[in-house]
Amino acid sequence: MTRPADIPGVLRTAPFTTAMAREHGVSAQTLRGSRFRHPYRGVLVWHLLPRDLATQVDAARLILPATAMASHLTSVELLGGQVPWTPRPHFWVPASHAGRSVRGLHLHAYDRRPAGVEVDGRMLTAPGKTFVDCATQLNLVQLVAVGDSLVRRGWIMPEHLRLVALEAARRDIRKARLAAHFVRERVDSWQESRTRMLIVLGDLPEPETGLPMHDESGGWLATPDLSYRGVKIAIEYDGGHHDEDLVQRDRDVMRDENLRDDGWIVIVVRAADLRLRPAVTLMRILRALQQRGHPSVPCWPSDGWRPYFPATPFSSPSR
């Protein structure tokens, strides 16, 4: 049996082709062993390497043209943005390669190579192009969340994103332009984006994102996820992961107490509030706005949020 030490290090640290293995004297019989994965025809991966997206992309690049670029949600994830799921890798490839297909990959053909950026030695479509491309994969709320995360990572500013979407011309471009209009800075999580979009699509006034709040003497109170500072309403998304982090949980409690002591209404939104009872959650926010006399509050939310937050039998309050 061939020992790990007999497998050249270069074949144990990155994906490789069967041709590369032959060059290093590794037999075909050895390559058929359980210590190698076979993600694509003619490509192998040492079994101890992670089964992550980066490894999949590195493996795919070995059988794609040198000008191929990781794209769509693949690019988002490699840029450090947040994605709702990890699909099979997507790439833009030259039109001359368009007729070919590779099992496990989604290939898109280009006549003119898109703008790109190199990250950790991998060529990806530029953040703005990536965002526009994702309009073909995501709904409006998901696309806004992707845009928020790319802005949070420092790859692009909202105004630049809107400019890219305005200048682009492709399928689903209207969705991309509308989503770009809603992308904001200082958004920390996917669910914060969803909470904000529930509010906006319900035709309630849009809250501000991630701004520090101070008391009358200028002392810092807290930095809510979402806020209406004019009427002292804060909205916090609680993902539940802080339950195991006692220090962070204590900070959250102190934050909310600081705000309430200063006369703020603090509304805490949890995953179940968005998944099971979005209408109830929206009404909680509406009633707080009405209670505080916000000048731009409707009598009742619109139904624009419903396609993106499917209702359950327990989620819709009666009028």
- C-beta separation of 213 from 221 below 8 A: yes
Query: Does residue 148 share a domain with residue 237?
Result: no
What's the structural domain count of the chain? 3
Nearest to 84 by CA among 191, 237, 175: 191
CATH (domain of 197): 3.40.960
Cα–Cα distance measured from residue 158 to residue 145, given in angstroms and rounded to the nearest whole number: 12
Query: Does residue 155 share a domain with residue 139?
Result: yes
Query: Does residue 213 share a domain with residue 178?
Result: no
Tokens representing residue 154 in the block: 């420092």
Query: Does residue 194 share a domain with residue 178?
Result: no
Q: Tabulate helix, strand, coil % of the chain (nearest 5).
A: 40, 15, 45
The pTM score is 0.91
Note whether residue 315 is domain-resident: no
* 116/314: higher pLDDT: 116
Tokens representing residue 46 in the block: 């040492």
* pLDDT at 278 > cutoff 90: yes
Contacts within 8 Å (CB) and 24+ apart, 104-111: 104/39, 104/40, 104/60, 105/40, 105/60, 105/64, 106/72, 107/64, 108/71, 108/72, 108/133
- C-beta separation of 90 from 108 below 8 A: yes
Note whether residue 56 is domain-resident: no
Note whether residue 298 is domain-resident: no
Note whether residue 313 is domain-resident: no
Note whether residue 55 is domain-resident: no
Tokens representing residue 44 in the block: 């192998």
Q: What is the mean pLDDT of residues 171-182?
A: 95
Cα–Cα distance measured from residue 67 to residue 113, given in angstroms and rounded to the nearest whole number: 8
Give the percent of the chain with pLDDT over 70. Answer: 93
* pLDDT at 4 > cutoff 90: no
Strands (E), 100-225: 106-110, 116-119, 122-125, 208-209, 213-214, 220-222
Query: Does residue 198 share a domain with residue 170?
Result: no
Note whether residue 140 is domain-resident: yes
pLDDT, tens digit, for every residue of 64-88? Answer: 999 999 999 999 999 999 999 887 9
Q: How far is CA 120 from the centre of its chain?
A: 19
* pLDDT at 242 > cutoff 90: no
Query: Does residue 112 share a domain with residue 146?
Result: yes
Query: Does residue 169 share a domain with residue 93?
Result: yes
Note whether residue 314 is domain-resident: no
Query: Does residue 43 share a domain with residue 84?
Result: no
- Give the range of the structural domain holding residue 205, as residue numbers without chain letter: 190-291
pLDDT, tens digit, for every residue of 16-56? Answer: 999 999 999 998 888 988 899 999 999 999 999 999 999 99
Note whether residue 70 is domain-resident: yes
pLDDT, tens digit, for every residue of 202-240? Answer: 999 999 999 999 999 999 999 999 999 999 999 999 987
